[in-house]
Amino acid sequence: LLLLPQASGWTEETDDRELVSTLSVLQSVLEKLQSRKLSSLDRRQSHLPTCEVGASCLVKKGPRFGRLCDCPRPSTCNFFFLRCL
């Protein structure tokens, strides 16, 4: 806790309010960073999450296809419909 001299016009109330606002901003930043870490840990380069049957599994941009997820075992990703069938 930083205590400032009284000559500058700061009181304990303003210090407390400022401390609370600073802590709330810090908490929101930490939550955002933690959610980014979790999402990067969940997705590995060779592992894609599984999707449901009928869900979109591919995205087409120009001549290229990008995989969004892996289809469950009995189904495969259809390149025409871009869905698990």
Instruction: Say if CB 57 and CB 64 are below 8 A apart.
Output: no
What pLDDT sits at residue 10? Answer: 55
d(CA 42, CA 44): 6
- pLDDT under 50: residue ranges of the chain: 1
Average pLDDT, the chain: 79
What six digits make up the tokens of 6?
């009284």
What pLDDT sits at residue 8? Answer: 56
